[in-house]
Amino acid sequence: MAKTHRGCGIRHLYVDSKGRTSDGVYNNGRGTCPVCKRTGVKVLYSREIADKTLNTCKRCSAALGHGKLQDLVANL
């Protein structure tokens, strides 16, 4: 089975530095996580933080789901 199809479903998630989505320019859903500030990670997980919906990385999404990282979220 060819591996060329992997990652095709998240190409529409390009967001530039000002928060605008763009067509035609892809980064495969990668960016900077607003919680942990890591760069180059996939930010695919939507979380409701302080009345805002933010896309977070996998580790931060899991930690927020378990009730951790509340001190970092309070600063956002």
CA 40, distance to chain mean position in Å, is: 10
Enter the tokens of residue 36: 């942990």
Decide if 68 is inside a domain.
yes
pLDDT at 52: 84
Decide if 65 is inside a domain.
yes
Decide if 43 is inside a domain.
yes
Mean pLDDT of the chain: 77
Q: Are 47 and 10 in contact (CB under 8 A)?
A: no
Percent of the chain with pLDDT strictly greater than 90? 11
Determine the structural domain holding residue 48 and report its residue range: 8-74
pLDDT 10s digits, 31-56: 888 889 998 888 888 988 778 888 89
Decide if 2 is inside a domain.
no
Name the domain count of the chain.
Answer: 1
Q: What is the pTM of this model?
A: 0.61
Decide if 42 is inside a domain.
yes
pLDDT surpassing 70 at residue 25: no
